[in-house]
Amino acid sequence: MTLLEVERLQASYGQVRALHGIDLSVEPGEVVVLMGANGAGKTTTLRALCQMPGLTVSGSVRFDGRSLSGVRTEHLAGLGMAHVPQGRGTFPELTVEENLQAGAYVRRDRAGIRSDMERWYDTFPRLSDRRAQVAGTLSGGEQQMLAVARACLSRPQLLLLDEPSLGLAPLVIHQLFEIFAELNRTDGTALLVVEQNASLALSIATRAYVIESGEIVLSGPASDLQADDGVRRAYLGF
Ligand code: ATP
């Protein structure tokens, strides 16, 4: 069964329509990239899928066979969908440890939660060293790592990632994408990724969509888009 099925998704900020009927899907275990210029509507697409406040949304969004219509944002993690929003994926007043615990709030398996937390501390030793530090005082890169780890603590079937590389050093970006690829390989977590560094995102992707002015204008296997001259010129910079 298709994991995420989106049909005719429209979204408006007040009177301003940002999405004009988007169709997209994510199969279980897929890595799907959403590409497009600044302002095309990538962030809005993820926000609309998560039923974020401030947006008027219409169309059909089905996740794991059920309609998300009327489902509140805070209930999505319990259904298996986690979102790492652009730049704001942590609770700044809580410590690193408390942020991770908060990420696992939908789970009851204490031992499993503990071992997952240790796994993420192994993955990001910088977070391990800062377990008792409040998230708001972490560096940008550390906060991004924490946001990803926190979202993964809910053990999502689908992780929505909005510009995870924003503001990070190249080395950290590569480390993060290796972790995404591994998460996908070992846990089978499906990813829907919005990423400025389209070339890097495509390198771990199964499929991609190109969005322009709130509409999907192109989609296909990641390898086809990587080879497409128009896509290379417009989004890959070569
Ligand atoms: P970027 O990579 O620059 O973030 P994007 O593809 O993610 O671009 P969106 O942020 O989704 O684009 O923006 C889509 C459109 O919606 C743009 O025209 C933008 O100006 C508009 N928009 C985004 N947020 C708001 C808001 N809070 N209020 C009004 N309009 C908004």
Query: What's the pLDDT tens digit per position in 6-28?
Result: 999 999 999 999 999 999 999 99
Q: Is the pLDDT of residue 126 over 80?
A: yes
Average pLDDT over every residue of 187-199: 93
Nearest to 134 by CA among 164, 89, 167, 98: 98
How far, in Å, are 18, 44, 65, 121, 210 from residue 21 at the CA level? 10, 12, 20, 41, 14
Are the C-beta atoms of residues 154 and 89 closer than 8 Å to each other? Answer: no
Ligand 1 neighbours (beta carbon < 6 A): 13, 16, 18, 36, 38-44
Question: Mutate which of 43, 84, 193, 209 to test ligand 1's pocket (most atoms within 8 Å of Cβ)?
Answer: 43
Q: How far is the CA of 148 from the centre of ligand 1 (A)?
A: 22
Q: Indicate the average pLDDT of the chain.
A: 93
Query: What confidence tier does 197 reach under pLDDT thresholds 50, 70, 90?
Result: confident
- Residue with the nearest Cα to atom 30 of ligand 1? 13
- Please, which residues have CB within 8 angstroms of residue 174's CB and are 6 or more apart in sequence? 200
Is residue 238 pLDDT above 70, yes or no? no
Mean pLDDT, residues 156-180 taken together:
90
Which of 15, 16, 211 to mutate to test ligand 1, by most ligand atoms within 8 A of the CB atom?
A: 16
pLDDT, tens digit, 9 for 90 and up, residues 24-70: 999 999 999 999 999 999 999 999 999 888 899 999 999 999 999 88
pLDDT at residue 194, as a whole number: 95
Domains recognised in the chain with CATH numbers: 4-80+156-236 (3.40.50.300), 89-150 (no CATH)
Return the pLDDT at 160. 96
Average pLDDT over residues 220-237: 89
Q: Which residue has the tokens 């209930």?
A: 75
Exposure of 57 in the CB half-sphere (CA atoms within 13 A): 24
Lowest mean pLDDT among 121-130, 161-170, 183-192: 161-170
The CA 147 to ligand 1 mean position distance, Å, reads: 21
- Give the angle subtended at the CA of 61 by the CAs of 56 and 67, to the nearest 5°: 110
Please compute the mean of the pLDDT values over residues 209-217 and round it to a whole number.
Answer: 96
Q: Look at residue 171 and tell me whether its pLDDT is greater than 90.
A: no
ipTM of the predicted assembly exceeds 0.90: yes
Interval 101-119 mean pLDDT: 93
159 CA to centre of ligand 1 in angstroms = 21
Q: How far is the CA of 76 from the centre of ligand 1 (A)?
A: 23
* Spacing, Cα 32 to ligand 1 middle (Å): 20
If one residue of 22, 42, 163, 213 were mutated to test the ligand 1 pocket, choosing by the most ligand atoms within 8 A of its CB, it would be 42
